[in-house]
Amino acid sequence: MAGMRWISLLLWMGVCFAVAGVGGRWTASEIPGWYRTLARPAIAPPNWVFGPVWTLLYALMALAVWQVWQAAASPLRSWGVVLFLAQLGLNLAWSWIFFRQHAIGAALAEAILLWAAIGATTLVFSRIAPAAAWLMAPYWAWVSFACVLNRAYSRLN
């Protein structure tokens, strides 16, 4: 049974980093062209910051959902996993909307939905495995900043 625990961790890491890979691919292809033409807000971190931050956040997300997955089966656990997958889908959609569609305003609206979905996921996780909620907290904080940053890009461009 212990082996299955680690396999499930690897699977959740795989899910999270698959989303990271697709979103990163969409993002990276736009950095040298379209993104470089945008007026940059003063609060924007250097581009090199995003890769390490997102790598850490995806790892923390995977650990969080894995902890919830390890809890006893229940409707609340199922709801937590569904919310997690929904917010992960919204996370991926943001990259598509902002970087591939160049729809900065729509990306802001989507980021606000993502922020709310992360919050809902974190709150449900807190009732199942409190440590999982703490693992989601840096992600929620970063997306809070990302909403402010997206708004700044929207105003300037």
Domain edges within the chain = 2-156
Q: Give the pLDDT of the chain (157 residues) as one tens digit per residue.
A: 667 888 999 999 999 999 999 999 999 999 999 999 999 999 999 999 999 999 999 999 999 999 999 999 999 999 999 999 999 999 999 999 999 999 999 999 999 999 999 999 999 999 999 999 999 999 999 999 999 999 999 999 9
DSSP tally for the chain: helices H, then strands E: 6, 0
Q: How many other C-beta atoms can be found within 10 angstroms of the C-beta atom of residue 42?
A: 6
Per-residue buried b or exposed e for 107-134, using 16+ beta carbons within 10 Å of the residue's own CB: bbebbeebbebbbbbbebbbbbbeebbe
pTM, full prediction: 0.95
44 Cα distance to chain centroid: 18
* pLDDT for residue 1: 64
Distance separating the N- and C-terminal Cα atoms of the chain: 54
According to CATH, the topology of domain 2-156 is Ferritin (1.20.1260)
